[in-house]
Structure 1
């Protein structure tokens, strides 16, 4: 359970401000099948989280416990920095004609590569319990995908996402600093 809850919470905080959630809302409107689009987006996040966890599993044994904590701190600080940077809107994938299942599956997978949630999952998996990290991150991303698909683009963009992004970034920064100082043994 060590990695499950943190991964879930990190994904839940990071996903609303990321482009995959907006793309999910856009595609749910386009295809008129929000449940199908949300399930496809959830699967895309699951595959991405699994890949991040596998990478973390490969790197984790080569790191000391302090280095594992420092990696998590770096992921959190990087997430805080990227969270305050305004991202451009995702492509609407208008030229993709793969249907309501394959378009969101491929589109969200490609768009989510290298996003905050995967970096968090990688760092948590390197610290141990990679399957719990992948599961937690996937569940958090799926919750956000279902909300985005249900609300659609108009409803999703009406949410105070900018303020949520700033609040999440502040939490990531504080947590990253505290964990980083602990990893460097600068706190008691």
Structure 2
């Protein structure tokens, strides 16, 4: 259950101001179908999360508890450090002619799979007794941000104070990473 909640919180915070939510807002505007974009986002996020959780389950037996904690600290540090920099606008997928459902599913899967959240999911899954809970938590946490983005549309989403929120969240991730890393190394 720890993996579910940890992944939920990490993903919800990490998605604020990030590219998957922005792309969901763009696609919801283009296709005028926020419900469809949200459904495809859920499938894309779950698929990417399950792949990361499976990798974490394979990696888990090879790591000591301290190494697992250090791995999580590294994942949080990378994601937090990346959040301190401006986010680049996602590709608008204007030339994709495969329909609303397939464009949303494929586009959001590609962004989700390459996202820092998947590294955090992998690290949380490596620590968990039930790794798939990390994927479920990350999916639900990401949707907690993607749903409002899709409903608001691009103009409404980008009007929010996402840059300062993203920087504050990034700093929190870095602090948490340093704490976990120092604890794993028994320096605190």
**TM-score, with length taken from structure 1:** 0.97
- Residue in structure 2 matched with residue 104 of structure 1 by the alignment: 104
Spell out, residue by residue over 1:100-134, the C-alpha distance to the aligned partner (whole angstroms, 9 max, x if none).
Answer: 21111000111222212101100000112311111
Runs of 4+ displaced beyond 2 Å? none
Whether 1:63 aligns to 2:49 is no
- Residue in structure 2 matched with residue 154 of structure 1 by the alignment: 155
Spell out, residue by residue over 1:76-96, the C-alpha distance to the aligned partner (whole angstroms, 9 max, x if none).
Answer: 111111111223211111111
Spell out, residue by residue over 1:36-71, the C-alpha distance to the aligned partner (whole angstroms, 9 max, x if none).
Answer: 111101210110000000011111110000000000
In the alignment, is the contact (CA less than 8 A) between 1:42 and 1:145 conserved in 2?
no
Partner secondary structure for residue 92 of structure 1: coil
For residues 58 and 83 of structure 1, the distance between their equivalents in structure 2, rounded to whole angstroms, comes to 28
Q: Which runs of 5 or more residues in structure 1 are unaligned?
A: none
- Residue in structure 2 matched with residue 22 of structure 1 by the alignment: 22
**TM-score, with length taken from structure 2:** 0.97
For residues 15 and 43 of structure 1, the distance between their equivalents in structure 2, rounded to whole angstroms, comes to 16
For residues 185 and 145 of structure 2, the distance between their equivalents in structure 1, rounded to whole angstroms, comes to 34
* Match runs of 1:34-49 below 5 Å: 34-49=34-49
For residues 138 and 154 of structure 1, the distance between their equivalents in structure 2, rounded to whole angstroms, comes to 24
Partner secondary structure for residue 165 of structure 1: helix
Q: Which runs of 5 or more residues in structure 2 are unaligned?
A: none
In the alignment, is the contact (CA less than 8 A) between 1:14 and 1:168 conserved in 2?
yes
For residues 11 and 111 of structure 1, the distance between their equivalents in structure 2, rounded to whole angstroms, comes to 14
For residues 80 and 95 of structure 2, the distance between their equivalents in structure 1, rounded to whole angstroms, comes to 33
Whether 1:144 aligns to 2:145 is yes
In the alignment, is the contact (CA less than 8 A) between 1:49 and 1:118 conserved in 2?
yes
* Match runs of 1:76-95 below 5 Å: 76-95=76-95
Spell out, residue by residue over 1:119-165, the C-alpha distance to the aligned partner (whole angstroms, 9 max, x if none).
Answer: 11000001123111111001011121111100000000001110111
Cα root mean square deviation, aligned: 0.9
In the alignment, is the contact (CA less than 8 A) between 1:79 and 1:169 conserved in 2?
yes
Aligned length: 187
In the alignment, is the contact (CA less than 8 A) between 2:84 and 2:171 conserved in 1?
no
Whether 1:177 aligns to 2:146 is no
